[in-house]
Amino acid sequence: MKALLIARRELAGYLRTLSGYVILAILLAVNGLFFNAYALGGASKRSAEVLSGFFYYSSGFTIVAAILVSMRLLAEERQTGTLPLLYASPVRDRDIVLGKFLAGLAFLALYLVLTLYMPLLVLVNGKVSFGHVAAGYLGLLLLGGASLAVGTFGSSLAKNQLLAAIFSAVMLVALILCWLLARITEQPLADVFSAMSLWNQHYPPFQTGLIHVRDVVYYLCVTYVALFAATRVLEARRWR
């Protein structure tokens, strides 16, 4: 419950300042530009291709949005010196991490909801499978959640927001590039790296309207491990 209180306060922090809306507007504008240029552009495409294209590049924007949102979660508190106040409050470390993560996730979900008009526009001249749209958005939310959790971990490690963004980006790029490692290593390491790949192995099925339990579980596991690690980093003040 305390996590929810923190989440509500944190989310209000995003929406009470113009910066949150500016981030949303910039992301939406660039997303719209890509929608016109890549998903719709070129030769006449079928609805499923347009949707797939939309979810393809939207995954990149979701990761970027997750980094932008997560960089301030804990690093900002440390940068402004308010983290000790949080420590002193009667909340557990895991409530702090979970609350901030949930606020970031809600903001990310708001961004994703605001992009919904793009796949629905396809309905005007094409055929839209609402199942495909739902699967794509589930994938975006899971990918965004996992990226946000990794970002939260990065934010917990860093002393300021810039470092937090760099840490998060490095970790996410490392996770994304696991598919490359999977290609150059041998079994069973190749399987391990392949399974760890954040995008290449687990996201494309969502993009085409396919939901695999294994992909859902993977993203949930990444989210869990990253949040767990972030909690441990906060707890480290007791032994460092």
Partner 1 sequence: MSTPASFGTGLAATGAFVAGLVAVFIAERVLGAGSGRVALAALGVGVAVAATAWRVVRMLAAPVARRTLERWVLTLYGLGLLALALYFVRGDVGTALVGEPLSRSSPRLSGVLSVLFPALLLCALVPLAMVEAALVAMARAPVPETGRVRSALFSGLGVAFAVVFAFAATYVATEADASWDLSYFRTAKPGEATRKLVRGLNEPLQVTVFFPPANEVGEAVRQYFRDLSPESPRLGLEVLDQAVEPARGKALGVSNNGSVVLARGDRKEILTLGLDPERARGQLQRLDAEVQRRLLAVAKPRRIVYLTGGHGERADTRPVPGEAVRPSVAQLKELLRAQNVDVRTLTVAEGLGTEVPRDASLVAVLGPTHALLPEEVAALREYWERGGRLWIALEPDGAGLEPLLRPLGLRSLRVPLANDRVFFRATRQQSDRGNLGTANFSSHPSVTSLSALGSQGAVAFLGAVALEPVTPPVPGVMLDTSVRAHPETFADANGDFEPGPGEVTKAWPLVVAVERPAPEGKPASRAVVMADADAVGDGILGNVGNAYLAVDTLRWLSGEEALSGVTTSEEDVPIQHTRSQDVAWFYATVFGVPVAVLAVGFFVTRRRGRRAPRSAAVAGGAR
Interface with partner 1 (CB under 8 A): 15-18, 20-22, 24-26, 28-29, 31-33, 35-36, 40, 44-48, 50, 114, 117-118, 121-122, 124-127, 129, 131-132, 134-135, 185-186, 188-189, 195, 205, 208-214, 216-218, 221-222, 224-225, 228-229, 232, 235-236, 238-240
Q: Which is nearer to partner 1, 4 or 134 (CB)?
A: 134
Closer CB to partner 1, 50 or 71, in the complex? 50
CB-wise, 8 or 162, nearer to partner 1? 8
Do the Cβ atoms of 179 and 193 come closer than 8 Å? yes
- d(Cα 14, Cα 44) in Å, to the nearest integer? 40
* C-alpha pair distances (Å), 83 with each of 57, 80, 98: 36, 8, 15
Choice between 133 and 164, CB closer to partner 1:
133
**For residues 136 and 144, which CB has a smaller minimum distance to partner 1 in the complex?**
136
Contact 152, 108 (CB under 8 A): no
CA–CA distances in Å: residue 237 to residues 32, 101, 153, 163, 231: 44, 20, 15, 19, 11
Tell me the C-alpha distance between 53 and 50, whole Å: 5
* In the complex, minimum distance from the CB of residue 16 to partner 1, in angstroms, rounded to a whole number: 6
